[in-house]
């Protein structure tokens, strides 16, 4: 996983609440067995007309937001399906940071697993950042994860909260399986206790 | 010890270790796999040279991609076929138990788990699918995860989690005629909103929930995610134990009695703290359906489509107008009487034998309206077989419904069962998002009985009028 330290990039505003993961990547594109290549289908229904041509009004089809690396939305971003294809599609498009007043739980988790930083900020601040985003390439937003601030084009710093463990994993680009496997003996210990206490617990075998 | 909730007890019982920052390594008793969210996880294991720690706590099925037509024919769509074949190679390589497409045990993963006794009370259960919350009906902590977490569970049989907050939704009273678990849950989501449960695990309680059979409880817990909750729970009771008894993978004999003794200790203690409490009266709930493109946009079938002009917030007004435009509805029109093109009875929300019986009771002696396509998609091969033993297939076929093979089908538009643009569907599934059932498709979520009523009348109909 790629480290996330600082980012200075064009931000795109999608001023909508409840953007679900079906909208981020419709189910018909989930037939891949890879993590990559989904960027071209991100926001498919909003981005393309029924005949497959680009919808020129959609923000991510317009310069300079075509190259946006930060996405700002309203409440409950990523609700619905647990599909990790949603953050994969965003990442493949080039998005490294998503900012919203609130996120759905599973999507929020999935972002961290892919080096995407999800930042929760109050709606009024999201509105201000959307204003910055509307100014395009002349108004890049910066994110400094170490210092936990979003830096607006005028230099104003907006602090944000983040779980310290997740911050650490993002900053170092660490795979959390490796972290957990350092506790393998604790897992072994748990299992031998459980085997005693829940001796009734069946295992699954199919001939 | 301070009084604890059902969630607290299952959580505490599964904590392997809590790290200094408060994240816990949580042990997972059951890991359910399907073809769509597992290939990248198997690939990750392979690339890292890691083993799958507990194949004997893992089960795989194919459901999302599979056609629900004739199973003896090869799967036409190459990408779907590839995903299914990839799963079959992976389960073989890693030794994971698997119900193949032609097995009677195949079906939607959230129907198969409880049906087989693989999902049991007090367990932690995960799957790369948000509707894993379904299994919470048994009194297990069950939630959906992403593919990276699937890989984590494969490698470690644990997951990294912080405890959720506790929320309780109590529904007291006796539901009126035509009011089912689906109506109750749609009413709950309408009441608390699609983010009402975010960060929480919802325990469903009260006499109306206690009075539901297991299928009804599964419908309720299934849609917890539509209320934003990570998981839904119902405390295990005699209804639960009788459901579990004798299922193929459930404990037997003395082991079953031991298990029940433990399961009985799991109910929330008197005086346990909930961070959020909501109470509804069953008598206030009518047969309910959605009008918009979010599961919280609910109406009683006797209601009228809301007017965006009444919204004070500009963004909310615009969003509501867009929903009406997408759905092809006018503000103020009665929702009943709206013509439908397709009726879909199926999905992990409503495809169990009880759901099919409810639909058959409405369909019996009637006929699907002219121009309507009506599909019945059982949740598993076993549900299908049982329905056929009970003669439900005859009722449906005589009434002009399609009688199909088990799978996710038209719930999510990734297999051949899809809406075409502009088609309106009365659907027993769980999501009415734009394009969910196919690009441009218009979805109204409702109960199996209401769906059957729409099929035979050709329009959204109050099922009580057909009684």
Q: Has residue A189 been placed in a domain?
A: no
Regarding whether B241 and B378 lie in a shared domain, the answer is no
Predicted TM-score of the model (pTM): 0.96
CB contact under 8 A, A17 and B149: no
d(CA A187, CA A180): 9
Which candidate, B324, B323, B392, B322, places its Cα nearest to that of B353?
B392
Structural contact between residues B420 and B441, judged by C-beta atoms closer than 8 angstroms = yes
Structural contact between residues B441 and B431, judged by C-beta atoms closer than 8 angstroms = no
Q: One digit per residue, pLDDT tens: chain A, 207 residues?
A: 889 999 999 999 999 999 999 999 999 999 999 999 999 999 999 999 999 999 999 999 999 999 999 999 999 999 999 999 999 999 999 999 999 999 999 999 999 999 999 999 999 999 999 999 999 888 899 999 999 999 999 999 999 999 999 999 999 998 889 999 999 999 999 999 999 999 999 999 997
Q: Has residue A204 been placed in a domain?
A: no
What pLDDT shows up at residue B253?
97
What pLDDT shows up at residue B436?
97
Average pLDDT over residues B125-146: 98
Structural contact between residues B223 and B110, judged by C-beta atoms closer than 8 angstroms = no
* Cβ density class B242-252: b for 16+ within 10 Å, e for less: ebbeebebbbb
What pLDDT shows up at residue B72?
86
**Two structure tokens written together for B39:** 């290939």
Q: Is B73 left (phi over 0), alpha (psi -120 to 50) or beta?
A: beta
CB contact under 8 A, B157 and A79: no
CB contact under 8 A, A84 and B128: yes
Q: Has residue B135 been placed in a domain?
A: yes
Q: Has residue A154 been placed in a domain?
A: yes
Structural contact between residues B101 and B62, judged by C-beta atoms closer than 8 angstroms = yes
CB contact under 8 A, A31 and B228: no
Q: Is the pLDDT of residue B21 over 90?
A: no
- pLDDT tens digits along B305-335: 999 999 998 888 999 999 999 999 999 999 9
Minimal Cα–Cα distance from B406 to chain A, Å? 18
What pLDDT shows up at residue B279?
98
CB contact under 8 A, A82 and B158: no
Q: Has residue A1 been placed in a domain?
A: no
- pLDDT tens digits along B328-370: 999 999 999 999 999 999 999 999 999 999 999 999 999 999 9
**Two structure tokens written together for A121:** 């900020």
Count how many domains chain B has: 2
- List the single best residue of B115, B122, B147, B192 to mutate versus A (max A Cβ within 10 A): B147
Confidence of residue B84 (pLDDT cuts 50, 70, 90): very high
Regarding whether B259 and B305 lie in a shared domain, the answer is no
Regarding whether B251 and B124 lie in a shared domain, the answer is yes
Count how many domains chain A has: 1
Q: How far is CA B24 from CA A180, B7, B14, B232, in A?
A: 10, 15, 9, 20
**Two structure tokens written together for B61:** 């099925």
Minimal Cα–Cα distance from A20 to chain B, Å? 8
Which range is least confidently modeled, A169-173, B57-61, B112-116?
A169-173
Specify the residue for token string 């710093």: A157
Q: How far is CA A20 from CA A43, A72, B83, B436, in A?
A: 10, 14, 24, 10
Confidence of residue B464 (pLDDT cuts 50, 70, 90): very high
**Two structure tokens written together for B406:** 């088990």
Q: Has residue A28 been placed in a domain?
A: yes
Q: Has residue A132 been placed in a domain?
A: yes
Regarding whether B391 and B251 lie in a shared domain, the answer is no
Regarding whether B396 and B257 lie in a shared domain, the answer is no
Q: Has residue B103 been placed in a domain?
A: yes
The helix or strand, by DSSP H or E, that contains position B153, with its residue range, turns out to be helix B147-156
pLDDT mean across residues, chain B: 97
**Is B348 within any annotated ligand binding site?**
yes
**Two structure tokens written together for A162:** 């983040």
CATH number of domain containing A42: 3.20.19.10
Q: Has residue B182 been placed in a domain?
A: no
Structural contact between residues B207 and B237, judged by C-beta atoms closer than 8 angstroms = no
**Beta pairing, strands B15-18 & B24-27:** antiparallel
Q: Has residue A23 been placed in a domain?
A: yes
d(CA B346, CA B37): 21
Structural contact between residues B291 and B23, judged by C-beta atoms closer than 8 angstroms = no
What pLDDT shows up at residue A2?
84
Give SS3 for B456: helix
Which range is least confidently modeled, B27-31, B35-39, B187-191, B316-320?
B316-320
Dihedral in degrees, nearest 10, Cα atoms B295, B240, B379, B149: 70
- Domain holding B62, by residue range, is 6-164+237-263
**Strand order from edge to edge, sheet including B30-33:** B98-99, B58-61, B30-33, B124-127, B141-144
Q: Is the pLDDT of residue B198 over 90?
A: yes
CATH number of domain containing B311: 3.30.499.10
Dihedral in degrees, nearest 10, Cα atoms B61, B63, B64, B66: 120
- Domain holding A11, by residue range, is 6-174
Q: Has residue B93 been placed in a domain?
A: yes
d(CA B346, CA A110): 28
Average pLDDT over residues B49-73: 95
What pLDDT shows up at residue A206?
92
* Cβ density class A105-144: b for 16+ within 10 Å, e for less: bbbbbbbbbbbbbbbbbeeebbbbbbebbeebeebbbbbe
Regarding whether B428 and B306 lie in a shared domain, the answer is yes
Query: Is A47 near chain B, with CB under 8 Å?
Result: no
Structural contact between residues A4 and A117, judged by C-beta atoms closer than 8 angstroms = yes
Length of chain A: 207
**Is B459 within any annotated ligand binding site?**
no
Handedness of CA B67, B68, B69, B71 (dihedral sign): positive
Regarding whether B364 and B253 lie in a shared domain, the answer is no
Q: Which chain A residues contact residue B255 at CB under 8 A?
A: 199-200, 202
Q: What share of chain A is helix, strand, coil (3-state, %, to 5)?
A: 40, 15, 45
- pLDDT tens digits along A14-24: 999 999 999 99
d(CA B131, CA B221): 8
Beta strands in B310-437 (DSSP E): 342-345, 373-376, 402-403, 424-427
CB contact under 8 A, B315 and A15: yes
Regarding whether B250 and B387 lie in a shared domain, the answer is no
What pLDDT shows up at residue A136?
87
d(CA B166, CA B126): 19
List, in sequence order, the alpha helices (H) in B310-363.
Answer: 314-327, 353-363
Long-range contacts for B362-365 (Cβ within 8 Å, ≥24 apart)? B362/B449, B362/B452, B362/B453, B362/B456, B362/B463, B362/B466, B363/B395, B363/B396, B363/B399, B363/B401, B363/B452, B363/B455, B363/B456, B364/B395, B364/B399, B365/B399
């Amino acid at each position: 996983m790629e480290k996330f330290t600082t980012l200075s990039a064009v931000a795109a505003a999608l001023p909508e609440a409840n953007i679900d993961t079906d909208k981020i990547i419709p189910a018909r594109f989930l037939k891949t067995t890879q993590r990559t290549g989904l960027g071209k289908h991100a926001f498919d229904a909003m981005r393309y007309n029924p005949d497959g041509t680009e919808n020129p009004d959609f923000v991510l089809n317009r310069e300079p937001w075509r190259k946006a690396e930060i996405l700002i939305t309203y409440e409950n971003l990523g609700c619905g399906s647990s599909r990790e294809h949603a953050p994969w599609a965003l990442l493949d498009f080039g998005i490294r940071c998503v900012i919203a007043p609130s996120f759905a739980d599973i999507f929020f988790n999935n972002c961290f697993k892919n080096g995407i930083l999800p930042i929760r900020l109050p709606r009024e601040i999201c509105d201000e950042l959307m204003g910055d985003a509307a100014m395009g390439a002349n108004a890049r937003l910066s994110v400094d994860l170490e210092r936990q601030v979003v830096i607006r084009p005028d230099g104003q710093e907006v602090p944000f909260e983040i779980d310290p463990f997740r911050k650490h994993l993002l900053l170092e680009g660490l795979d959390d399986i490796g972290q957990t496997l350092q506790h393998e003996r604790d897992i072994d210990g748990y299992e031998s206790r459980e085997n005693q206490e829940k001796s009734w617990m069946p295992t699954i075998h199919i001939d | 010890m301070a009084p604890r909730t059902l969630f607290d007890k299952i959580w505490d019982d599964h904590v392997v270790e809590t790290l200094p920052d408060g994240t816990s390594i949580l042990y997972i008793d059951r890991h359910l796999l399907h073809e769509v969210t597992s290939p990248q996880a198997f690939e990750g294991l392979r690339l890292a040279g890691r083993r799958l720690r507990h194949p004997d706590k893992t089960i795989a099925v194919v459901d999302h991609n599979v056609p629900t037509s004739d199973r003896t024919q090869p799967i036409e769509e190459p990408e779907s076929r590839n995903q299914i074949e990839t799963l079959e190679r992976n389960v073989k390589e890693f030794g994971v138990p698997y119900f193949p497409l032609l097995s009677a045990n195949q079906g939607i993963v959230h129907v198969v788990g409880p049906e087989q006794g693989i999902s049991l009370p007090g367990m932690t259960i995960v799957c790369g699918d948000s509707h894993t919350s379904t299994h919470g009906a048994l009194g297990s902590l069950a939630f959906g995860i992403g593919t990276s977490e699937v890989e984590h569970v494969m490698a470690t049989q644990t997951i990294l989690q912080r405890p959720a907050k506790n929320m309780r939704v109590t529904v007291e009273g006796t539901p009126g005629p035509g009011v089912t678990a689906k109506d109750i849950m749609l009413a709950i989501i309408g009441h608390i909103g699609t983010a009402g449960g975010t960060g929480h695990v919802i325990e469903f309680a009260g006499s109306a929930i206690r009075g539901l059979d297991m299928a009804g409880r599964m419908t309720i817990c299934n849609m917890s995610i539509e209320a934003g909750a990570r998981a839904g729970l119902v405390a295990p009771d005699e209804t639960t134990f009788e459901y579990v008894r004798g299922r193929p993978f459930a404990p037997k004999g003395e082991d079953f009695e031991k298990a029940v003794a433990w399961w009985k200790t799991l109910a929330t203690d008197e005086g346990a703290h909930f961070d959020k409490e909501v109470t509804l009266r069953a008598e206030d709930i009518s047969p309910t359906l959605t009008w918009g493109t979010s599961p919280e946009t609910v109406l009683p079938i006797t209601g009228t489509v809301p007017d965006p002009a009444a919204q004070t917030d500009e963004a909310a007004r615009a969003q509501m107008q867009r929903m009406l435009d997408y759905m092809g509805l006018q503000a103020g029109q009665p929702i009943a009487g709206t013509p439908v093109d397709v009726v879909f009875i199926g999905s992990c929300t409503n495809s169990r034998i009880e759901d099919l019986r409810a639909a058959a009771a409405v369909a019996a002696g009637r006929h699907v309206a002219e121009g309507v396509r009506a599909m019945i998609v059982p949740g598993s091969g076993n549900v299908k077989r049982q329905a056929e033993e009970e003669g439900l297939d005859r009722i449906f076929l005589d009434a002009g419904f399609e009688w199909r093979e088990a799978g996710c089908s038209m719930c999510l538009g990734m297999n051949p069962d899809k809406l075409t643009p502009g088609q309106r569907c009365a659907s027993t599934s769980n999501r009415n998002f734009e394009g969910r059932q196919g690009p441009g498709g218009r979805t109204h979520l409702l109960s199996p009985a209401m769906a059957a009523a729409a099929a035979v009348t050709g329009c959204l109909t109050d099922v009580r009028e057909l009684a």
